[in-house]
Amino acid sequence: MRIVIHPDRDALAEHGARTVADLLRTDGPVSLGLSGGSTPRPLYERLRWETVPWERVHLWLSDERWVPWDDPDSNGRMASETLASHVPASFHRPRWSEHLTAADAAAFYEADLRSVFPEGNPHVVLLGMGDDGHTASLFPGTDALDAPPGRWYVENHVEKLDTWRLTATAELIRRADTVILLVAGADKSAVAAEAIEGPPGVYPVQLVREARGEVIWMLDEAAAADLSAETPTERGV
């Protein structure tokens, strides 16, 4: 695990975009799981200008809100506006229809993803973290945390938000070659420190501790403020 600290959100986005682009410059087809929320927006806006073999890249969503594609809350809409509509990559989005259930949409999407990385190893997965320690749409105390073995994408009812979500499962995220967590803001510093340094099994985001591949925490200084001096970190450049 690596922890990279950046002076501010812009530096985080700049270094994150370069890091992701470097990871995508590889032979053969390659996939990139896109986090939702607000933190990754500036990273996606920079990433679209990077020299990447986009025609061989498959973009997908680490999680999605169960809303129409054009809904302002849609992660797919945000990813399309900031990145996917600007590059010749394949963009895989979950279906939405008022005649579909979230469970069916998650199952259809999982089948789509099995055609993207049939061996079950996503190349790069970007994640955020909420101030409750959730990641993707794996919120504390929700059913998706106990998804059946073998599932890669499931529906999840988030009671505190009174919404349905679709989310990659912990099993799929742990199979990635590289997981990058993008965390910014002072409101996340306490949970970030506990998630990184504290006992396991407290926050969903700690699932990355069992990841198969490389895990990179990319924080701004505000989110890293509560890390102890003993925790090894790097400066993002």
Residues engaged in binding ligand 6PG (CB under 6 A)? 35-39, 63, 75, 128-130, 134-137
Between 55 and 70, CB nearer to ligand 6PG:
70
Measured CA to CA, the distance from residue 85 to residue 89 in angstroms comes to: 9
Given the complex with ligand 6PG, which of 130 and 236 has the nearer CB atom? 130
CB 32 within 8 A of CB 123: yes
**Which residue, 35 or 189, has its beta carbon nearer to ligand 6PG?**
35
Residues 6+ apart with CB under 8 A from 152: 110, 113, 114, 120, 168, 169, 171, 172
Measure the CA–CA gap between 36 and 138, rounded to whole angstroms.
12
Q: How far is the CB of 236 from ligand 6PG (least distance, A)?
A: 17
Cα(30)–Cα(10) distance, integer angstroms: 26
* Nearest CB to ligand 6PG, comparing residues 12 and 26: 12
User: Least separation, in Å, of the C-beta of 183 and ligand 6PG?
Assistant: 8
Q: How far is CA 18 from the centre of its chain?
A: 17
DSSP 85-119: GGSS-EE------TTS-HHHHHHHHHHHHHHHSTT
Instruction: List the structure tokens of 74.
Output: 């849609």
Burial class (CB in 10 A: 0-12, 13-18, 19+), 97: exposed
Contacts of 85 (CB under 8 A, 6+ apart): none
C-beta of 207: minimal distance to ligand 6PG in Å?
A: 12
- In whole angstroms, the minimum distance from the beta carbon of 27 to ligand 6PG comes to 29
CB of 38 or CB of 99, closer to ligand 6PG: 38
Residue with Cβ nearer ligand 6PG (75 or 142): 75
For residue 188, the minimal CB distance to ligand 6PG (Å) is 7
Shortest distance in whole angstroms from residue 34 CB to ligand 6PG: 9
The CA angle 61-75-14, to the nearest 5 degrees, is: 80
